[in-house]
Amino acid sequence: MSAVLSAHNLVKHFPLGGWGKARRVVRAVDDVSFEVPAGETLGVVGESGCGKSTTARLLVQLLAPTSGAVRFEGRVVGPEVPLKELRRHVQMVFQDSYASLNPRMTLQQAIAFGPMVHGVSETEAQRTAMTLLERVGLDPSRFGQRYPHEVSGGQRQRVNIARALAFEPKVIVLDEAVSALDKSVEAQVLNLLMDLKRERGLTYVFISHDLNVVRHISDRVMVMYLGEVAEIGPVREIYAEPRHPYTSALLAAMPSLDPSRRTEEPPLLGDPPNPINPPAGCRFHTRCAHAMDICSARRPGDLAVGSRHLAACHLNDLAEKETAA
Amino acid sequence: MTPLVEVKDLSVRFDGTPSVYAVNDVSFTLAQGEVLGILGESGSGKSVTLKTLLRLLPERRARVTGEVKVNGSDVLGLTGRALADHRGGVVSMIFQDPALALDPVYTIGRQIAETVVRHDGVSMREGKARALEMLELVRIPSAKRRLAAYPHEMSGGMRQRAMIALALSCRPKLLLADEPTTALDATVQIQVLLLLRELQRELGMGVIFVTHDIGVAVEVSDKLAVMYAGSFVEAGSVAEVIGDARHPYSKGLLAANLVGAEPGATLEAIPGAPPALHAPPVGCAFAPRCPIATKACEAGPLPVWRTSEARWARCVAACAASAPESCQTAAE
């Protein structure tokens, strides 16, 4: 399967000021590589500050990487794929449905605006906008002329999805797109996303902190911790048999939905460390129950622990050596 | 034994153009040492219900009717010093965003000590000692040093612990928790939940815990009430409500939380959106979104399916599906 979108050693550091040796940076994303095969949904999970959103913004080039590259269908974005072309194929939906719409444009105008900038005639763009509104479940005659503040959060998020679809993109990056919605509305939007994917053969990068939602919608999952990829692999494997202690802890931290089996022990203590000065070696070693000497000394490499399943943990080198011996 | 909290036919209306009927005829009781979880979506009136117990609503715009008794005293009738004693002494509250709830210009230690001095009439020195005790109780690392910390110097999880310490510093009989873990990361959320559960047991206080997250409610509550459009639609023990939901809204909420859902399958989503509460509800507020609504749902008064004092659901369909003796019409 060919990757429609891939990240190659992406790094993003945000400067915090200071000069020379005193210069400090937030290591938001540090050497992240992964592939998104066409037609798959890649779920991205992790706690706040782990670099999920920065990764999303790097993928669609809303931020320029400090180093590393994004490739679209094998070609490097920037030199080989101009931004204008990338935008046609890769679109994004944000968490805050209100902030991502222009308050002075009607919903129909908002959807038609992008294609018009790209040279589609106005009548054609308006017609597409009507069809798309209809497709996301909003009656165009009732909603087309309304402004963003006149509709509910769930309806606004549908408009944002329709706007992303206006270019007939290949990939949509969804950054916490359903997190701000109420549960009952969230389920409707998830259904819409799954239907659209089947219908149009879309590829999603689905970023969320909600592990239940990610399990439901993803084919593969990437777990991030402090700007690095801890583990990436098929959704079933990761949820059934996580190979990184952080993944296990994250899964164990999900509230139990069974009153007779409540959580008894918190799987992790303390807060995630600061990405300004992350721990040396494996960044998780300060909170890891299995930490060994090597963990603080050397950063673990991505080790294949299954087919298309990578984990960055020294525990897996050990297992490897034992099976080799 | 009289219950710790007795709420009867509580209604809250906010005057304005248009008026909002935020809470409509809510009744419940809570025994000493019990944890009630109130589950509902945004705008369902769960926070407003909590705030009435502390009289935190704007007095001029909020029309509160009904009866609210906490620890034997009539909360709606409290004034002056009695009200100030009630707030923080008998009942206290923790909020979703501790950065907003704590005072940014005083240290954590000072804020806790101040509360203790006011309610227990002790010296500032004793107040400070209690503050240290409380920070240790909520397991803030190097508590002594943190006494002198300002809220902005702490992480989100730590601030939430500090707020819990502040709320519990005068040993309230009732703790109100308004989505206290929603803003926290998953691994920190579970730490705070388990801490709350442990402290509740240790101190034997009653807790009312408001959340939109079923998982969180299951982790902490003994009893559960589901709230929709300003009314309680179903109540019972956690196991009863989660395992055997009777109201279509509760069922829909469970499905939307992906309880036992097959990955990738279409979810049984509740269509539509919650109603605007600009008029007092007639009949079942959920009827327009309900897949099994009938004529009887729109008219009201609604029958209540009930197997015990604490286990009930206000739903026509739930009544129709069970034996007639477990059903009460509203007139009775």
List pLDDT tens digits, range A204-220: 999 998 898 999 999 99
Least confident of A317-321, B21-25, B48-52, B266-270: A317-321
Chain A residues touching B194 at Cβ < 8 A: 263-266
Q: How confident is the model at residue B324 (pLDDT cuts 50, 70, 90)?
A: confident
Using an 8 Å Cβ cutoff, are A282 and B218 in contact? no
Q: How confident is the model at residue B294 (pLDDT cuts 50, 70, 90)?
A: confident
Q: How confident is the model at residue A24 (pLDDT cuts 50, 70, 90)?
A: confident
Convert the pLDDT of each residue in B211-239 to its tens digit.
988 889 999 999 999 999 999 999 999 99
Which of the pair, A199 or A324, is modelled with greater confidence? A199
Cβ-nearest to A188 among B189, B212, B269: B269
Distance, in Å, from the CA atom of B314 to the CA atom of B197, rounded to the nearest integer, reads: 30
Q: Give how far B230 is from chain A: nearest CA, Å.
A: 16
Chain A residues touching B271 at Cβ < 8 A: 188
A140, A144, A146, A152: CA torsion to nearest 10 = 50
- Average pLDDT rounded to a whole number, residues A242-269: 89
Extract the tokens encoding B119: 């309610």
Neighbouring-strand partners of residue A306: A309
Q: To which residue do tokens 């939007």 refer? A: A189
Distance, in Å, from the CA atom of A185 to the CA atom of A123, rounded to the nearest integer, reads: 32
- Interface with B, mutate which of A53, A151, A157, A183 (most B CBs under 10 A): A183
* Residue A323 confidence (pLDDT): 65
Convert the pLDDT of each residue in A52-72 to its tens digit.
999 999 999 999 999 999 999
SS3 of residue A140 by DSSP:
helix
Using an 8 Å Cβ cutoff, are A292 and A254 in contact? no
Q: How confident is the prediction for chain A on average, in pLDDT?
A: 90
Q: Which residue in chain B has the smallest CA separation from A216? A: B263
Sheet with B20-30, strands from edge to edge, namely B20-30, B5-14, B62-70, B73-74
Non-local (6+) Cβ contacts of B152 within 8 A are B99, B104
* Residue B331 confidence (pLDDT): 47
Taking 70 as the threshold, does the pLDDT of residue A186 lie above it?
Answer: yes
Taking 50 as the threshold, does the pLDDT of residue B332 lie above it?
Answer: no
Using an 8 Å Cβ cutoff, are A266 and B249 in contact? no
Q: Which residue in chain B has the smallest CA separation from A179? A: B182
- Average pLDDT rounded to a whole number, residues B143-152: 92
Convert the pLDDT of each residue in A132-151 to its tens digit.
999 998 999 999 999 999 88
Taking 90 as the threshold, does the pLDDT of residue B276 lie above it?
Answer: no
Q: How confident is the prediction for chain B on average, in pLDDT?
A: 90
Interface contact B263-A209, CB threshold 8 A: no
By CB atoms closer than 10 A (0-12, 13-18, 19+), residue B145 is exposed
Taking 80 as the threshold, does the pLDDT of residue B163 lie above it?
Answer: yes
- Average pLDDT rounded to a whole number, residues B21-37: 94
Q: How confident is the model at residue B330 (pLDDT cuts 50, 70, 90)?
A: low
Distance, in Å, from the CA atom of A275 to the CA atom of A254, rounded to the nearest integer, reads: 24
* Residue B149 confidence (pLDDT): 93
Q: How confident is the model at residue A1 (pLDDT cuts 50, 70, 90)?
A: low
Q: Which residue in chain B has the smallest CA separation from A214? A: B263
Non-local (6+) Cβ contacts of A217 within 8 A are A41, A43, A190, A193, A194, A204, A206, B263, B264
Cβ–Cβ contact A188 with B under 8 A: yes
- Average pLDDT rounded to a whole number, residues A158-168: 94
Interface contact B191-A268, CB threshold 8 A: yes
Taking 90 as the threshold, does the pLDDT of residue B41 lie above it?
Answer: no
Taking 80 as the threshold, does the pLDDT of residue B118 lie above it?
Answer: yes
**Per-residue exposure over B201-239, b if at least 16 CB sit within 10 Å of its own CB, e if not:** eeeebbbbbbbbbbbbbbbbbbbbbbbbbbbbbbbbbbe
* Residue A306 confidence (pLDDT): 84
- Interface with A, mutate which of B188, B192, B247, B277 (most A CBs under 10 A): B188
Q: How confident is the model at residue A322 (pLDDT cuts 50, 70, 90)?
A: low
Q: Give how far B42 is from chain A: nearest CA, Å.
A: 7
Interface contact A194-B264, CB threshold 8 A: yes
Distance, in Å, from the CA atom of A304 to the CA atom of A283, rounded to the nearest integer, reads: 19
Beta-carbon pairs below 8 A across chains A and B: 123
Least confident of A164-168, A270-274, B140-144, B153-157: A270-274
Convert the pLDDT of each residue in A120-133 to its tens digit.
999 999 999 999 99
Which of the pair, B330 or A225, is modelled with greater confidence? A225
Taking 80 as the threshold, does the pLDDT of residue A233 lie above it?
Answer: yes
* Residue B106 confidence (pLDDT): 95
Using an 8 Å Cβ cutoff, are B147 and B132 in contact? yes
Q: How confident is the model at residue A40 (pLDDT cuts 50, 70, 90)?
A: very high
Q: To which residue do tokens 């006011």 refer? A: B118
Using an 8 Å Cβ cutoff, are B256 and A294 in contact? no
* Residue A321 confidence (pLDDT): 67
Q: Which residue in chain A has the smallest CA separation from B41? A: A182
Taking 60 as the threshold, does the pLDDT of residue A302 lie above it?
Answer: yes
